[in-house]
């Protein structure tokens, strides 16, 4: 696939839709299908309707509050055909929170489905002077198709997405068309995508892993399969869907991948025979699980990649193919930087440190976001001239002798308990060093101050408690640390481990 840096994301999609008119673009939750020609026509019809009803102009930002589905994809494309950017918001976010998000993000309009509470959304949009469109299942696609559309948008915003950021303070990140096109172009020397690929739209539209799923399909002429909510929450149903729809590329967080691995062991590895790539991201990879998975599937032409990335650098920044045998299970190798991305490890004074020395991971290059909008100051934090853009990740890492990088956890996972400074990542690593512990999650409990250590293990309470006594410092265990056994960790809507739910389940005994 040739990406022209002078053309926008929707310009590339338009060219693909013209070249592959009859290809399946979308397989919806109910099994219905939409071709590229049909998808483009629906998007252009909606675009013209939005232009006439809302007077949306080039450069406007449009919020999309709807779940994954055909309507969402059509809306994303329609907004971009008008020269605007889209801002996905979790469909289940409470109205008061939606009000705060919209009021601080300069949204011109909000598109939502007809089953959304109209009165609540109207009140929110009245408060923040935004316009709202309540979309029916098909009613919004009855306009004639848009004749002229904007495609020369390379330096303009493609989408805005919300993230907790390195400090935990919510912020919105602005990604340009050039950022996204460059990122897909940069991955071409390690992965190849084509019209023959079928992608699974697994993640929430408001989590940027979904950006890779959606545009990985639509910018290459592939097919995007959208599961229903119940299937998405059930690992063995996802495994069955992979087989049924012949999914070739699967993006997953390591937490959910672990559950897919368990489901595959029960249902049989042949269920994943269609897969070419599994792309892991968003969390630390469990090397032991990946190694076991690769051994089980060694007869399949399946490749597994660990991709480190941050919302502020356009989804992914590094890539490492994981092959068996994994030489050092303790090393979370995130590979080398993608083409056009520069990574440096720096100390507290922002000076680069020697190879092998731990420090903060910084990233620069054209994948870095244009600016961020924080809830705190309601203002944009521009990152300076493009050549000098550097993002300080608050992630700890080091460069290895072969030029690859190792991820060492979050810098801000240090907590203070009983006067001792403790790194939660180190607690997890110590627990994982114990035999029969498959996964570990250390969480700070604020009242009374201490650490909850959640473990996935088949050992009894007495056995793993005895083991923790041997690996944890005596000033932590057992006085300031409680361990709880889980069969599996609860997963949030982003596919990551849900710490809040772990704490709730632990408190209920």
Owner of token pair 């009859």: 22
pLDDT digits (tens, 9 = 90+) for 160-185: 998 765 444 567 889 999 999 999 99
Q: Which two tokens stand for residue 151?
A: 């495609």
| φ and ψ at residue 420, rounded to 5 degrees | -100, 135
The pLDDT, as a whole number, for residue 135 is 62
Which of the four pLDDT bands, split at 50, 70 and 90, describes residue 28?
very high
Which of the four pLDDT bands, split at 50, 70 and 90, describes residue 331?
confident
Which of the four pLDDT bands, split at 50, 70 and 90, describes residue 119?
low
The pLDDT, as a whole number, for residue 275 is 98
Burial class (CB in 10 A: 0-12, 13-18, 19+), 341: buried
pLDDT digits (tens, 9 = 90+) for 346-359: 998 889 999 999 99
Residue 400: count other Cβ atoms within 10 Å of its Cβ: 15
* Average pLDDT for 353-369: 91
User: CA 20, 25, 28 angle in degrees (round to 5)?
Assistant: 160
Residue 271: pLDDT over 70: yes
The pLDDT, as a whole number, for residue 167 is 45
CB burial string 264-284: b at 16+ within 10 A, e below? beeeebebbebbbbbbbbbbb
Which positions ≥6 away from 416 have C-beta within 8 Å? 422
Look over the chain and give the mean of its residue pLDDT values, rounded to a whole number: 84
The pLDDT, as a whole number, for residue 27 is 98
Owner of token pair 């919302």: 311
**CB-based contact 383:368 (threshold 8 Å):** yes
DSSP state of 146: P
DSSP string for residues in 76-92 = HHHHHHTT-EEEE--TT
* Average pLDDT for 5-29: 93
Rounded-to-integer distance, Cα 24 and Cα 398, Å: 43
Rounded-to-integer distance, Cα 340 and Cα 361, Å: 16
| 255 vs 165, more confident | 255
The pLDDT, as a whole number, for residue 366 is 78
The pLDDT, as a whole number, for residue 268 is 92
Strand-pairing partners, residue 134, are 112
Rounded-to-integer distance, Cα 96 and Cα 245, Å: 39
**CB-based contact 183:209 (threshold 8 Å):** no
Rounded-to-integer distance, Cα 248 and Cα 226, Å: 14
Residue 183: count other Cβ atoms within 10 Å of its Cβ: 27
Helices of type H across 104-208: 118-127, 177-186
Q: Which of 8-12, 107-111, 210-214, 421-425 has the lowest mean pLDDT?
A: 421-425
The pLDDT, as a whole number, for residue 417 is 76
| 19 vs 422, more confident | 19
User: CA 340, 344, 350 angle in degrees (round to 5)?
Assistant: 135
Residue 137: pLDDT over 70: no
Domains and CATH numbers, the chain: 9-142+152-399 (3.40.50.12780), 418-507 (3.30.300.30)
| 154 vs 470, more confident | 470
Share of the chain above pLDDT 90, in %: 47
Rounded-to-integer distance, Cα 316 and Cα 207, Å: 13
pLDDT digits (tens, 9 = 90+) for 193-241: 999 999 999 999 988 999 999 999 999 999 999 999 999 989 999 999 9
The pLDDT, as a whole number, for residue 195 is 97
Report the DSSP pairing between strands 390-399 and 359-365. Answer: antiparallel
Q: Which two tokens stand for residue 19?
A: 């070249």
Q: Which two tokens stand for residue 463?
A: 């056995």
Residue 138: pLDDT over 50: no
């Amino acid at each position: 696939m040739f990406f022209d840096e002078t053309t926008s994301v929707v310009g590339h999609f338009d060219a693909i839709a013209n070249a592959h008119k009859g290809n399946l673009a979308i397989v919806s939750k109910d099994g219905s299908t939409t071709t590229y020609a049909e998808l483009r026509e629906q998007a252009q019809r909606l675009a013209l309707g939005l232009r006439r009803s809302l007077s949306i102009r080039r450069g406007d930002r449009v919020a999309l509050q709807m779940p994954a589905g055909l309507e969402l994809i059509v809306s994303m494309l329609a907004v971009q055909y008008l020269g605007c950017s889209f801002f996905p918001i979790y469909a289940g976010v409470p109205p008061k929170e939606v009000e705060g998000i919209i009021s601080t993000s300069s949204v011109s309009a909000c598109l939502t489905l007809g089953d959304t509470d109209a009165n609540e959304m109207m009140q929110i949009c009245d408060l923040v002077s935004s316009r709202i469109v309540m979309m029916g299942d098909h009613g919004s696609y009855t306009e004639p198709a848009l004749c002229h559309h904007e495609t020369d948008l390379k330096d303009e915003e493609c989408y805005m997405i919300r993230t907790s950021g390195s400090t935990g303070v919510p912020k919105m990140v602005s990604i340009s068309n050039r950022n996204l096109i460059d990122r897909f172009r940069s991955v071409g020397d390690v992965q190849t995508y084509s019209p023959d690929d079928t992608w699974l739209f697994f993640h929430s539209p408001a989590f940027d892993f979904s950006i890779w799923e959606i545009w990985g399909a639509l910018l290459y002429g592939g097919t995007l399969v959208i599961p229903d909510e119940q299937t998405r929450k059930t690992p063995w149903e996802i495994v069955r869907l992979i087989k049924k729809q012949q999914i070739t590329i699967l993006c997953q967080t390591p937490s959910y991948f672990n559950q897919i691995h368990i489901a595959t062991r029960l249902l049989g590895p042949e269920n994943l025979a269609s897969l070419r790539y599994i792309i892991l991201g968003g969390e630390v990879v469990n090397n032991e699980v990946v190694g076991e998975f690769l051994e089980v599937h060694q007869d399949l032409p399946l490749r597994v990649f660990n991709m480190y990335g941050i919302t502020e650098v356009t989804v992914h920044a590094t890539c490492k193919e994981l092959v068996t045998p994994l030489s050092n299970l303790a090393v979370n190798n995130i590979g080398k930087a993608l083409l056009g991305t520069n990574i440096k490890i720096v100390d507290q004074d922002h000076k680069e440190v020697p190879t092998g020395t731990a420090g903060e991971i910084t990233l620069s290059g054209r994948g870095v976001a244009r600016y961020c909008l924080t809830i705190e100051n309601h203002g944009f934090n521009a990152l300076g001239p493009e050549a000098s853009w550097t993002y300080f990740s608050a992630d700890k890492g080091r460069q290895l002798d072969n030029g690859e990088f190792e991820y060492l956890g979050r810098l801000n996972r240090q907590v203070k308990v009983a006067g001792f400074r403790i790194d939660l990542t180190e607690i997890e690593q110590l627990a994982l060093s114990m035999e029969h512990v498959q996964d570990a999650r250390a969480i700070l409990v604020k009242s009374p101050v201490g650490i909850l250590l959640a473990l996935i293990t088949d050992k009894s309470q007495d056995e793993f408690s005895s083991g923790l006594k041997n690996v944890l410092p005596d000033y932590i265990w057992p006085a300031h640390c409680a361990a709880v056994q889980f069969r599996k960790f609860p997963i949030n809507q982003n596919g990551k481990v849900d710490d809040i739910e772990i704490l709730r389940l632990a408190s209920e005994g």
